[in-house]
Amino acid sequence: MQDPQPKLIFAHGLWMNGLEMTWLRSRLRDRGYSTAQFQYNTVAPKLADNCRRFRQFILSRQGPVTLIGHSLGGVLSLQTLRAFPDLPVEKIICLGSPLVDSAAGRSMQKVAPGRFMMGGLLPQAIFEQPLDEWNSAVPVGVIAGTRGFGPGRVVARLPRPHDGTVAVSETRLPGISDHIEIPYTHTTMLFAPVVVNQCDHFVQHGRFMRDPAAESQSEDESG
């Protein structure tokens, strides 16, 4: 790895608190990265408030950082950089993030219990203030899952392929630097060695690996 390494900041998804990203953080930390977990209220009423809090957290790391966001955390990462384009962010990696749309979210919005559970952040970040296109010079890489098992299938008819919660088509934001698909679900991708390898490679090169053999090797083999 080049020296010095940019620091990694992780942002969790809806209803989560970052514990589910512990394994991924640990594996990347084993590769010499400094890691930090940003925690936020995923059902907060205002997108702007969370963007400001994320900005403060990024600045507190005192140096260039790479953001790694899972699901809603990836959306929040892009929304924060759009709101504060001068932040010292070098790259962004989104894992299963519904950057374009969310069929599961739209389905939940149709009923009062679903709206209550979802809160205000997701609708604002995806439906009301959509990203539309990525125009920033900051490279964005997206990893989408194609193993279609998960709660999203219960609440919505997801376009195929999907990861059980987010459809691959919902992750394809125009203007991003790179996009790959892996055979994992929305949650199991957080425990996939290939994700460790691909995150490491994207931080180093601004693009994902395209060699199938390299993509499938374990973190021990590539570390």
CATH number (domain holding residue 23): 3.40.50.1820
Question: Domain count of the chain?
Answer: 1
- Residue 65 tokens, joined: 């950082």
Query: Region 182-209: what's the mean pLDDT?
Result: 97
Band of residue 157 on the pLDDT scale cut at 50, 70, 90:
confident
Q: Is residue 17 a part of any domain in this protein?
A: yes
Cβ neighbourhood burial of 116 (10 Å; 0-12, 13-18, 19+):
exposed
Q: Is residue 1 a part of any domain in this protein?
A: no
Q: Is residue 80 a part of any domain in this protein?
A: yes
Looking at residue 31, the DSSP 8-state letter turns out to be T
One-letter amino acid of 209: M
Query: Region 109-117: what's the mean pLDDT?
Result: 91
One-letter amino acid of 130: P
Q: Is residue 50 a part of any domain in this protein?
A: yes
Band of residue 222 on the pLDDT scale cut at 50, 70, 90:
very low
Q: Is residue 78 a part of any domain in this protein?
A: yes
Q: Is the pLDDT of residue 45 over 90?
A: no
> What is the domain range of residue 62?
7-222
The reported pLDDT for the residue numbered 223 is 39
What pLDDT digit, counting tens, does each position of 199-213 carry?
999 999 999 998 755
Q: Is the pLDDT of residue 1 over 50?
A: no
Angle at 49 between CA 40 and CA 107, to 5 degrees: 70
Q: Is residue 2 a part of any domain in this protein?
A: no
Q: Is residue 54 a part of any domain in this protein?
A: yes
Looking at residue 167, the DSSP 8-state letter turns out to be B
Q: Which distant-in-sequence residues (6+ apart) come within 8 Å of 155 by Cβ?
A: 104, 107, 108, 114
pTM metric for this prediction: 0.92
